[in-house]
Amino acid sequence: MLASSSAGNSIFLATEKTRILVDAGINRKETFARLAAIGEDPHKLDAIFITHEHSDHIAGLPVINRNLGARVPVFATRRTAPLLDWGGSPAPPLETFQAGAAFDFRDLRVQSFTLPHDAADPVGYTFLVQGIKIAIATDLGYLPENVKHHLRGAHFLLLESNHHPDLLKVGPYPWHLKQRILSRLGHLSNDAACEYIASELSKETQTLVLGHLSEQNNTIWDAELSARQALRQRGLDPKLVVVEPRRQSEVFQL
């Protein structure tokens, strides 16, 4: 995770043959610096996959695209692609797909799935490579059955744990924003994430990462404590990491 919070989101995934970003929500300078910090050359990226058009997921896209040039395709759903802002620069090669579609990109088997969020056509992704399944599900108001289906069997899961409901209710946000976050098209709370962990987290999950934490309405301590209690209830002991807002995570090797 190069970044995972309401301030910006970007995930780097590398295999033996492929290097991609999922979302580009932080600026080019910071994206490239964070890649360099883990020994990766930004100019060796092969593609960028977009989950939805909200600014914390695409803010860096125009300038990153301008620096990488036309060779790096951008993947987005057919309804999301027209909403991407290129800042006056020529659009890169766009690879569009129907939400829910599965397709191959180099050595990755990519599966998209619809998320309940207040964007035009938001999706999560799973990536399957050499028998390892990586699942990404953030920016969703609740966990419907179709999402749970795609998370099953994930060896690595990035799951949203956005807010503590009590902190949100007494926090500084205006009421209309609180209502949006709490809605079924908003963001997943610690309680909702932990309900899933305690009842349905896959036994195959070796690494569980909680991300997209709100800086105003959550704490790392609250998210981690709740998740550990849920894991004990489930009888599972995967590696648990909570991504600190505005900081990149450790490197995960699967």
* Same domain, yes or no: 135 and 93: no
* Same domain, yes or no: 139 and 182: yes
| DSSP secondary structure, 59-118, as one string | TTHHHHHHHH-TTS-EEEETTTGGG---TTSPP--EEEE-TT-EEEETTEEEEEEE--SS
pLDDT per residue rounded down to tens, the chain (254 residues): 999 998 999 999 999 999 999 999 999 999 999 999 999 999 999 999 999 999 999 999 999 999 998 789 999 999 999 999 898 877 888 999 999 999 999 999 999 999 999 999 999 999 999 999 999 999 999 999 999 999 999 999 999 999 999 999 999 999 999 999 999 999 999 999 999 999 999 999 999 999 999 999 999 999 999 999 999 999 999 999 999 999 999 999 99
Can you name the residues that pair with 105 across neighbouring β-strands?
108
Last residue of a domain, one of 97, 122, 157: 97
* Same domain, yes or no: 201 and 137: yes
Give the chain's domain count: 2
Residue 252 resides in a domain: no
User: Residue 231 is inside which H or E element, if any?
Assistant: helix 220-234
Residue given tokens 């105003």 in the structure block:
216
Residue 238 resides in a domain: yes
Residue 138 resides in a domain: yes
Residue given tokens 């956005």 in the structure block:
162
Residue given tokens 């069997």 in the structure block:
153
What's at 187, amino acid-wise? Answer: H
Domain of 18, CATH number, reads 3.60.15.10
* Same domain, yes or no: 138 and 225: yes
Residue 119 resides in a domain: no
Tell me how far apart the terminal alpha carbons of the chain are, to the nearest angstrom: 14
| Contacts of 233 by beta carbon, 8 Å cutoff, 6+ apart | 198
Sort strands 132-137 and 156-160 into parallel, antiparallel or unpaired.
parallel
Residue 92 resides in a domain: yes
Residue whose C-alpha is closest to residue 251's, from 50, 39, 59, 101: 39
* Same domain, yes or no: 236 and 148: yes
* Same domain, yes or no: 142 and 238: yes
pLDDT at 70: 75
pLDDT at 249: 98
Q: Quote the domain boundaries for residue 177.
A: 131-246
* Number of Cα atoms under 13 Å in the Cβ half of residue 15: 18
* Same domain, yes or no: 141 and 201: yes
Distance CA 181, CA 50 (A): 21
- 3-state class (DSSP) for residue 242: strand
Given a contact cutoff of 8 angstroms between Cβ atoms, the answer to whether 210 and 192 are in contact is no
pLDDT at 93: 85
Residue 251 resides in a domain: no
The dihedrals phi and psi of 189, each to the nearest 5 degrees, come to -80, 165
pLDDT at 61: 95
Given a contact cutoff of 8 angstroms between Cβ atoms, the answer to whether 135 and 126 are in contact is yes
